[in-house]
């Protein structure tokens, strides 16, 4: 009987210790803005050279920024930042691609979002019946776009449901 009580006590102590550790970790790695959370990432996959824009959705923010592959500001990446009760906490960095006319139409994403590049002629991007957010970039008039709220079973059909429209609403190739 004593061994059972000691075992239960040890389990409770370990569970409480784990909970306290995880909460403290969330608290120390949370920041007041998504941009601060992104700038405090240790050894990021892509260096943040310049933040372009931030898009907010419920408890998630996407911070678009220029990075460097060959030359400064030639690569687009996005930091996915999640909100918790202590502030904003880094989740992941998504590489979108080289900012180049040859890469327009390029898609990247997983789970609940898709990010892509569009040519300067594109005024609106539609995913099915949903209009997605457009993020203008400095380089060559290329634009980035973001669709958040994707259901995972639609990710495989993404190439077929995306339409690029010009200012008059005409579909572009």
User: Can you read off the two tokens belonging to residue 108?
Assistant: 């990247």
**Residues in contact with 65: Cβ distance below 8 Å, sequence separation at least 6, in sequence order:** 38, 46, 48, 49, 50, 51, 52, 76, 77, 78, 79
pLDDT tens per residue, range 48-72: 999 999 999 989 999 999 998 878 8
Per-residue pLDDT band for 160 (boundaries 50, 70, 90) equals low
Q: Which residue has the higher pLDDT, 7 or 152?
A: 7
pLDDT tens per residue, range 116-146: 999 989 999 998 888 899 998 876 688 999 9
Q: From CA 127, how far away is CA 70, in angstroms rounded? A: 32
Residue 37 has a pLDDT of: 94
What's this model's pTM, rounded to 2 decimal places?
0.81
Q: What's the whole-number mean pLDDT along residues 33-42?
A: 93
* % the chain with pLDDT above 90: 40
Closest CA to 44 of 71, 73, 23, 65: 65
């Amino acid at each position: 009987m004593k061994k059972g009580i000691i075992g239960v006590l040890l389990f409770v102590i370990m569970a409480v210790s784990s909970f306290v550790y995880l909460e403290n970790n969330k608290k120390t790695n949370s920041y007041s803005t998504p941009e601060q959370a992104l700038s405090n990432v240790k050894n990021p996959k892509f260096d943040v050279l310049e933040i372009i824009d931030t898009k907010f959705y419920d408890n998630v923010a996407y911070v678009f920024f220029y990075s460097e592959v060959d030359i400064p500001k030639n690569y687009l990446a996005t930091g996915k930042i999640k909100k918790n009760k202590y502030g904003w906490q880094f989740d992941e960095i998504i590489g979108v691609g080289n900012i180049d006319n040859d890469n327009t139409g390029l898609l990247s994403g997983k789970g609940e979002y898709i990010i892509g590049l569009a040519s300067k002629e594109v005024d609106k991007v539609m995913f099915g019946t949903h209009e997605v957010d457009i993020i203008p970039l400095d380089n060559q008039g290329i634009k980035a776009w973001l669709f958040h709220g994707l259901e995972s079973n639609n990710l495989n059909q993404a190439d077929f449901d995306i339409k690029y429209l010009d200012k008059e609403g005409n579909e572009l190739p």
